[in-house]
Amino acid sequence: MKDIEILFENKPGQLALMGKTLGESDISLEGGGVFQTGNSSIAHFLVEEADRAKVELAKAGIKVTKISNVIIQKLRQDIPGQLGVFCKELADANVNILTQYSDHSNQLIVVVDNYEKGKQVSEKWMKKWWNNEDYII
């Protein structure tokens, strides 16, 4: 899975065109969102075939500005504060979060400035929080 970053004009129909284009190309969106920033909007979506999505969207006049690796992290929903604790661990490792959203399976999707270091934090997190059911914040 990869994150595609898209720059939209801030006008009606842009998201509809993106969704229609990807749907007709049999490319599924697995999570994401769109955020307005003045005269444009920035979208981030999780897709399995990012390079193909970029090509198909370009044919429709939609510009993918960036393709990024993602950290897919499952948080413990039974323990409040998981988002803050996980993000603090990334910060303590000097990893900056560039984009964050959820996928359709309620997993945290994170694009970071240092993917390899962020991946190490994520792997450590999984061992700490998912291998020890009795751990409490």
Query: Could you read off the pLDDT of 57-116 as tens digits, one per residue?
Result: 999 999 999 999 999 999 988 889 999 999 999 999 999 999 999 999 999 999 999 999
pLDDT digits (tens, 9 = 90+) for 20-30: 999 999 999 99
CA atoms of 46 and 68, how far apart (whole Å)? 10
Contacts of 93 (CB under 8 A, 6+ apart): 117, 118, 120, 121
Gap between the Cα atoms of 99 and 96, Å rounded: 9
pLDDT for the residue numbered 77? 85
Residue 137 has pLDDT above 50, yes or no: no
How far is the C-alpha of 107 from the C-alpha of 105, rounded, in Å? Answer: 5
pTM: 0.88
What is the pLDDT, as a whole number, of residue 129?
Answer: 83
Cβ contacts of residue 33 below 8 Å, gap of 6+? 43, 44, 45, 101
